[in-house]
Amino acid sequence: MKEKVYVHGGKKRSSISVLFGGVTLSEPLKTFKGNVEAMVYIAQMSSYRIRGHKDQVSKLYKDGIKSKEEQEKKLREDERVLKNVLEMEAVVREKETSERSKKLAKWARETLEGIVAREKKFVDRWDSLNKGWVESLNKYEKAKENLMPMVFVYIVTIWDAFILDTVRRILRVHPQVIVGKKNATVEVKASFLWDVKSTEDIRNYLIEDKVRQLDGNRNELLKCFGDDWGIDWKMSGIKLIDIIEIRARRDIWVHNGGVVNRQYLNMVGKNGLLREGEVAQIDGEYLDECLEKLTRLAVYVHRVAEEKHYAKADIGEDR
């Protein structure tokens, strides 16, 4: 995995496309691939831009600190000169020297006072600029922290959509889990029946009803794939506990700010490495590992579904 860098920076970078090699690129894998590649591109470009802007502002901040220090040094020197001029002017007044000497002393004092006042404004201006750059750096750092969790949540959502779209396509070919059960009943709203125009509308309704059921019961979903459709996820080489952990982590990032809670711990069981109250970090390396595991599992599911179900579909079926 360390040789493949999909999202975070590094000298070695492989395309996510390599994971889709050797499989028929039909739906819904085709859409999954396009969405994943788009998210990887967005993550890479966003990370690159955040890093670039942060480096620029960091340089401005460092230069600003240096310029402020130089300005403060000059201000201290001019304040010392002004102090000497004030002392000289006091001596001139005390000794009742010529008016010309008094005017020169006054002019020198006023000139230095103006210079010191302007330099104080420059120092204050650097303070304001540096404060703004610090705020910008904090914003870029926050954006960097939020980017990976956002991409992670969306990638898991894309994967969920692929799985449910796979269910939809298999049900169109082999609807036995819907129609094969004795005395199976489905509640249908009268408003739907009133507007039904074809048996296709009824098929779509039954498929979507089953998809909703399976989406709400992941154990039943796995059972359908393995027992009813001959697609055993365990045979993919990807550990199911890893997929469970990914989805559990996704849930706490959506609903709990990434903080581990009892629901997460109950889902991952004894295999969890995180403790309750701990933030489940999403860095580039973790995101890449998730991306590879989800993609490899998706490719496996699609390959078997293609062989056992899609190949038996009518010629008119969307390929």
For the chain, give every domain's residue range. 25-174+229-312
Alpha carbon distances (Å) from 117 to 85, 113, 124, 127: 15, 6, 11, 15
Secondary structure of the chain: what % helix, strand, coil (to 5)? 75, 0, 25
Q: Are 93 and 102 in contact (CB under 8 A)?
A: yes
Give me the mean pLDDT over the 107-121 stretch.
Answer: 88
pLDDT at 96: 64
Beta bridge partners of 259: 279
Angle between helix axes 240-255 and 99-173 (nearest 10 degrees) is 130
pLDDT (tens digit per residue) in 42-53 = 988 998 999 999
| Residue pointed to by tokens 């269910």 | 167
Name which residue leads in pLDDT, 4 or 222: 222
Closest CA to 274 of 160, 266, 293: 266
Average pLDDT, whole number, for the chain? 88
Predicted local distance difference test score (pLDDT) of residue 182:
62
The pLDDT of residue 54 is above 50: yes
- Is residue 296 within 8 A of residue 4, CB to CB? The reply is no
Peptide bond into 149 cis (omega under 30): no
Q: What percent of the chain has pLDDT over 90?
A: 54
272 vs 283: CA distance, rounded Å: 18
Give me the mean pLDDT over the 209-220 stretch. 93
Pick the CATH number of 25-174+229-312 from 1.20.1740, 1.10.287, 1.10.1740, 3.30.1490: 1.10.287
Dump pLDDT digits (tens) for 280-312.
Answer: 999 889 999 999 999 999 999 999 999 999 987
Residue 254, phi-psi category: left (phi > 0), alpha (psi -120 to 50), beta (remainder): alpha
Q: In this predicted structure, what is the pLDDT of residue 16?
A: 81
Query: For the residues 204-229, what does the mean pLDDT come to?
Result: 93
Higher pLDDT among residues 220 and 99, named by residue: 220
pLDDT band at 4 (very low <50, low <70, confident <90, very high): low
Q: What is the residue whose two structure tokens read 């082999």?
A: 174
pTM over 0.75: yes
pLDDT in tens, 125-165: 888 888 998 999 999 888 888 999 999 999 999 999 999 99
| Signed CA dihedral, 124, 129, 134, 135: sign only | positive
Query: 163 and 301 in contact (C-beta within 8 Å)?
Result: yes
Tell me what pLDDT residue 31 has: 97
